[in-house]
């Protein structure tokens, strides 16, 4: 499966005075539990876990805080409480179970190493602005 990087408007800064846009490896996925929703998720090789905004968990039918509690560390060593649940994730028609966390402090869905990268081989090609994802094995959690 190949996905184009998503172009995002950016503002210039002192460090990058000519910056007008950036490109991110965001892919369109569907998450579901009792309801489903299509979202763009950042494929992040630097993230240990898959984490989604709490609002998405509530939308698809979870009482988010009833999940298994954990803490992750974000930028600046800030600790973030996370509540994990098992969801169904659909990537380009491929459906599988995904154990992921939900947190209020997370602004957008993040697909990290544990669980997502375990199921896929992921190749980033920034020059071509694309990401290639290959399913490594069938549906399992």
Residue 45 resides in a domain: yes
pLDDT at 140: 45
> Residue 40's beta-bridge partner residues?
28
Residue 141 resides in a domain: no
Region 31-54 average pLDDT? 95
Query: How far is it, in rounded angstroms, from Cα 101 to Cα 64?
Result: 9
Of 118 and 32, the structure prediction assigns the larger pLDDT to 32
Percent of the chain with pLDDT strictly greater than 90:
82
pLDDT at 141: 44
Which domain range does residue 128 map to? 27-135
pLDDT at 115: 87
User: Number of folded domains in the chain?
Assistant: 1
The pLDDT tens digits of the residues spanning 68-95 come to 999 998 778 889 999 999 999 999 998 9
Residue 113 resides in a domain: yes
pLDDT at 138: 55
Mean pLDDT of the residues in the chain: 92
Predicted TM-score of the model (pTM)? 0.88
Residue 3 resides in a domain: no
Is the sign of the CA dihedral 75, 80, 85, 87 positive or negative? negative
The first and second tokens of residue 23, run together, are: 């490109």
The pLDDT tens digits of the residues spanning 89-98 come to 999 998 989 9
Residue 87 resides in a domain: yes
- Are the C-beta atoms of 53 and 120 separated by less than 8 Å? no
Residue 140 resides in a domain: no
**Whether the predicted pLDDT of 12 surpasses 90:** yes
The pLDDT tens digits of the residues spanning 130-140 come to 999 998 865 44
């Amino acid at each position: 499966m190949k996905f184009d990087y998503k172009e995002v408007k950016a503002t210039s800064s002192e460090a990058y005075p000519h910056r007008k846009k950036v490109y991110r490896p965001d892919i369109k996925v569907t998450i579901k539990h009792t309801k489903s929703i299509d979202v763009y998720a950042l494929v992040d090789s630097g993230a240990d876990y898959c984490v989604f905004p709490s609002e998405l968990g509530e939308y698809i039918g979870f009482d988010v805080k009833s999940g298994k509690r954990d803490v992750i560390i974000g930028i600046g060593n800030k600790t973030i409480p996370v509540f994990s649940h098992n969801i169904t994730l659909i990537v380009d028609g491929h459906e599988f179970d995904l154990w992921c966390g939900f947190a209020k402090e997370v602004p957008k869905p993040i697909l990290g190493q544990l669980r997502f990268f375990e199921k896929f081989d992921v190749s980033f090609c920034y020059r071509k602005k694309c990401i290639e994802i290959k399913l490594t094995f069938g549906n399992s959690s």
